[in-house]
């Protein structure tokens, strides 16, 4: 299928994630079965050995997360995929990847929660968990896909960001995108921009494994490269050894936060649809953005100056993309298949510029264009 990129094909969101990962250079996948993410494992179980990569099914999601960190430390781009209950189990080692700055991609195909919740109804209930699920202050990047074609290209971008900033990237999909089949023409893998982690250029004796470059990102040697070094989930000094010195702790914490801040322009992504002259706007992400686009078009047909800002990056929250819309519009509508996890971010940056209206569904049902159109008329 990888070689069929030049022709149109019918693909499922989950399949597109798997092929995006392969195109990005992912050569290690560890996972544990869970609906609605299992197809990602299944496709990669078949493809990884063909491309010289490795697929392994672990004993649980804790182990899957541990295995992809290990593989990444050995120099191989790695990914796992799961849904809410599994994502909860991954939080411990996800924190390790944040602390030890291990690039990796974690796909969470969201389903209804809490707990076993609603297998398998669509939901977007894991948005804040993706940002704050693991303990302590930590850098992390969260992207949301809205279509099959997104699922491919954003998986590639997730790997690129992860490699470039040495940060775990969470790719949020949802049951609707994951299981919808759409006709897509995938880009030629050779035309994709693929970013690989920076390796040390100094001799091993000079290597400081946790000294940031001018971006705050340390060069990363793989185990076996001759740069013997220590990797730990304890707060560490530039040599990678545990430290309890306040000055070194502060330096470490600031650097891992600031490396993301410095990359804001590149990491924050959104897509505008008819927003240039919009007076009312929907701010949406994931599959809901698809319904929102249709509702906006219908509203425009009725002469309402409506627009859509689709958030692709959810965290770091793309404030610089949202604020101009809040200043420009009379009102914004934030529809979500949760109780308002991104609307609280929108309200946080709103500063009284405009009226924000929430539209939430937590009944396991998809938000339709009709209901959003009705909401738009009320703004």
- Chain residues that interact with other proteins, rule: CB under 8 A: 27-28, 30, 46, 49-52, 54, 56, 58-60, 62-76, 78, 92-93, 96, 222-226, 228-234, 239, 241-242
**Min. distance of Cβ 46 from other proteins in angstroms?**
7
For residue 373, give every residue at least 6 positions away whose Cβ sits within 8 Å of its Cβ, in sequence order, or none: 294, 295, 298, 299
Nearer to other proteins, 241 or 366 (CB): 241
Which is nearest to 37 in space by CA: 105, 108, 124, 112?
108
- The residue among 190, 232, 231 whose CA lies nearest residue 3 is 190
Burial letters 58-68, b for 16+ CB under 10 A, else e: beebbbbbbbb
Shortest gap between Cβ of 226 and other proteins (angstroms)?
5
Q: Are 243 and 107 in contact (CB under 8 A)?
A: no
Q: Choose between 59 and 137: whose C-beta lies nearer to other proteins.
A: 59
Peptide bond into 120 cis (omega under 30): yes
Nearer to other proteins, 10 or 51 (CB): 51
| H or E element, residue 246 | helix 246-261
Distance CA(144)–CA(123), nearest Å, equals 13
Q: Which is nearer to other proteins, 232 or 374 (CB)?
A: 232
CB of 152 to other proteins, least distance (A): 20
Closest distance of CB 99 from other proteins, Å:
10
Shortest separation between residue 30's beta carbon and other proteins, angstroms: 7
Rounded to a whole number of angstroms, the minimum distance from the CB of residue 219 to other proteins is: 16
Whose CA is closest to 111, among 86, 93, 92?
86
DSSP 17-81: HHHHHHHHT--EEEE---TTTHHHHHHHHHHGGGGT-EEEE-SSHHHHHHHHHHHHHTT--EEEE
The smaller minimum CB distance to other proteins, of residues 189 and 364, is found at 189
Cβ closer to other proteins: 131 or 229?
Answer: 229
Question: Rounded to the nearest whole angstrom, what is the least distance from the CB of residue 281 to other proteins in the complex?
Answer: 43
8: tokens are 């149109």
Nearer to other proteins, 230 or 327 (CB): 230
Whether the Cβ atoms of residue 86 and residue 34 lie closer than 8 Å to each other = yes
């Amino acid at each position: 299928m990888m070689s069929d990129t030049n022709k149109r094909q019918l693909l499922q969101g989950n399949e597109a994630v798997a092929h995006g990962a392969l195109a990005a250079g992912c050569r290690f996948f560890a996972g544990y079965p869970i609906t609605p993410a299992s197809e990602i494992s299944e496709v990669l179980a078949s493809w990884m050995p063909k491309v010289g990569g490795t697929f392994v099914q672990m004993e649980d999601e804790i182990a899957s997360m541990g295995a992809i960190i290990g593989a990444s430390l050995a120099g191989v781009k790695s990914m796992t995929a799961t849904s809410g209950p599994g994502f909860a189990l991954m939080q411990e080692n996800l924190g390790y990847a944040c602390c030890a700055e291990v690039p990796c991609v974690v796909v969470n195909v969201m389903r209804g929660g809490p707990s076993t919740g609603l297998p398998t109804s669509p939901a977007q209930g894991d948005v804040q968990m993706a940002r704050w699920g693991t303990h302590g202050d930590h850098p992390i990047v969260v992207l949301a896909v809205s279509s099959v074609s997104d699922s491919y290209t954003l998986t590639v971008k997730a790997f690129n960001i992860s490699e470039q900033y040495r940060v775990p990237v969470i790719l949020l999909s949802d049951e609707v995108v994951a299981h919808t089949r759409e006709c897509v023409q995938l880009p030629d893998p050779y035309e994709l921009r693929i970013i690989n982690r920076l390796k040390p250029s100094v001799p091993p004796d000079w290597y400081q494994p946790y000294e940031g470059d001018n971006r705050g990102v340390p060069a990363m040697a793989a185990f076996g490269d001759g740069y013997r070094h220590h990797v730990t989930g304890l707060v560490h000094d530039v040599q990678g050894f545990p430290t309890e010195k306040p000055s070194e702790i502060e330096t470490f914490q600031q650097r891992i936060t600031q490396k993301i801040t410095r990359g804001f322009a590149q990491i924050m992504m959104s897509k505008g649809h008819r927003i240039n002259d919009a007076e009312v706007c929907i701010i949406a992400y994931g599959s809901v953005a698809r319904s929102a686009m249709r509702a906006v078009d219908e509203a425009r047909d009725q002469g309402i100056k409506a627009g859509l800002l689709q958030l692709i990056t959810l965290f770091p929250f793309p404030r610089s993309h949202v604020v101009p819309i809040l200043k420009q519009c009379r009102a914004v509508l934030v529809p979500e298949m949760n109780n308002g996890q991104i609307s609280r971010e929108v309200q946080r940056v709103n500063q009284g510029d405009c009226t924000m209206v929430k539209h939430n569904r937590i009944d396991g049902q998809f938000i339709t264009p009709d209901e959003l159109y009705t909401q738009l008329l009320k703004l």
